[in-house]
Amino acid sequence: DSGVTQTPKHLITATGQRVTLRCSPRSGDLSVYWYQQSLDQGLQFLIQYYNGEERAKGNILERFSAQQFPDLHSELNLSSLELGDSALYFCASSPTRQVSEQYFGPGTRLTVT
């Protein structure tokens, strides 16, 4: 158990809808990272937050947004969902601003029908 929690575990929704994925980092970790894992693309970095501020941005679509709250938990918002957004979404955390060792959560499996 990495100490990173993600909810929900599974999510099924329809195209055009909006969902929110939640992540609680390990106790004491200030950085949170979001990744998308799909069969054809592998693990793709989406975005990083450090102590409430956006730190790095990867291949995140404009339809997606994230934030980190004062208690350090983070939410990833996905809107106007398309079939291609179906994937596993992982959150990871690390104690520092520069990532070395990341601890991944169990993921949220999103299915868009």
Partner 1 sequence: QQQVKQSPQSLIVQKGGISIINCAYENTAFDYFPWYQQFPGKGPALLIAIRPDVSEKKEGRFTISFNKSAKQFSLHIMDSQPGDSATYFCAARASGNQFYFGTGTSLTVIP
* Binding site residues, partner 1, CB under 8 A: 2, 4, 33, 41-45, 48, 55-56, 58, 90, 92, 97-107
- Shortest Å distance, C-beta 67 to partner 1: 18
Residue closer to partner 1 (CB basis): 21 or 107 = 107
Instruction: Return the number of the residue (14 or 28) whose C-beta is nearest partner 1.
Output: 28
Which residue do the tokens 């997606």 mark?
A: 64
